[in-house]
Amino acid sequence: MKRLTFVIGGLAVLPVTVLLHAQGSLTNLTNVQALYASASYEEALAELAKVDTASWNEHVDEYRALCFLALGRTREAEQALEHLVRERPLHSIAGDQYSPRFVSLFETVRRQTVPVVAREVYANARRAYEAGRFDDATGGFRQLAEILSDPTLVEQSPNLADVKELGDGFLKLAEAKRLAAAADPVPSRSSAPAPAVGPVPSTSPAPAPPDPVVVSTTRVFTVADHDVRPPVEIQRRLPLWSPSNGPRPLGEIRGLLEVVTDTEGAIESATLVKSLTPLYDRELLAATKGWKFRPAIKDNEPVKYRWLMEIVLSGR
């Protein structure tokens, strides 16, 4: 069975049979297709406007953009395609099914929109990571990796390679922390054995209540904890950047370091999320052992704190 493609005014029309909920009724996209094929673009747009948000799919925005383009309303066609890409960042349009003009417009909008979507996904995943929601963070960074799986897109967009590298690094950290949390769950109070209850002689005085148990917490706070005052730097000496630890960079090299300070303000752990250079990375991690901060404070008590620190090497 052959698949038929109709071309109207230089724009391809694909036969699509999709039922959509439209304000309580069903809208068949073949009706929209028929209106488009008969050059009834305004009527087709009116039909598409009835589709509710819950029933949206990519064909709705494809036909909306086709109608706008046929009416010469290019900006509105771009907006429809931008919405499509935001909802389906991995969506593609086959060149043999649409006109070159439409394919070119879609690719232009996609190149402009996907980097914005990728940065939004990265920002949301990073906020989840910093808040200790490692399941959400892992899902977000995986979504980012999927969005940026197209090497051509990464090459065409400035700084998108950095976002991909950061996302890949955070994904490894988030997965490790998620697995560690699953392997070492916090015991619940209900799991503690109930104290034995026996008869108490009437002649014996009631036992004194036990002393309160002070449970030390190992919680690590983050920037998501707004009631915590972050650490204050006392000493943070960076290794010198010299030819002995690698070629001098042209411009800037930016790295990202995750550090955890303990209740004394010392560096408890340091992990490179984004590498600078292999040789400098080793010297940087060694240098963190000598860094000193005033510890983070919560309720007038020192606490552990995790945050991200950007390291910049300049070739100037």
Question: What is the full DSSP assignment across 137-178?
Answer: HHHHHHHHHHHTT-HHHHHHSTTHHHHHHHHHHHHHHHHHHH
Q: Report whether 280 contacts 254 (CB < 8 A).
A: no
The structure tokens listed for 1 are 């069975």
Choices 1.20.58, 3.30.70, 3.30.1920, 1.10.3470: CATH for 113-183: 1.20.58
- In angstroms, the CA 246 to CA 199 distance is 76
Residues of the chain with CATH 1.25.40: 6-88
Q: Give ranges for CATH 1.20.58 in the chain.
A: 113-183
pLDDT of residue 140: 94
pLDDT at residue number 98: 86
Side-chain-facing half-sphere of 84: CA atoms under 13 Å: 25
- Residue 230, pLDDT score: 92
CATH number of 220-314: 3.30.2420.10
Domain 6-88 -> CATH class: mainly alpha
Predicted TM-score (pTM) of the model is 0.62
Report whether 72 contacts 65 (CB < 8 A). no
Residues 6+ apart with CB under 8 A from 64: 45, 48, 77, 80
| Cα 104 from Cα 130, distance rounded (Å) | 39
> In the structure encoding, which two tokens stand for residue 86, read together?
């935001």
Return the SS3 of 303. strand
3-state secondary structure of 41: helix
Q: How many CB atoms lie within 10 A of CB 111?
A: 14
Return the residue matching tokens 């994904």: 171
pLDDT in tens, the chain (316 residues): 333 344 444 455 454 444 444 444 445 677 888 899 899 999 999 989 888 887 788 889 999 999 999 999 999 999 999 999 999 998 988 878 888 999 999 999 999 899 889 989 998 998 898 888 999 999 999 999 999 988 888 887 767 888 888 889 899 989 988 888 887 665 544 444 555 555 545 555 555 544 443 334 478 888 777 899 999 999 999 988 765 555 555 567 888 888 999 999 999 999 888 888 888 888 999 999 999 999 999 999 999 998 888 888 876 5
Q: Strand pairing partners for 252?
A: 314
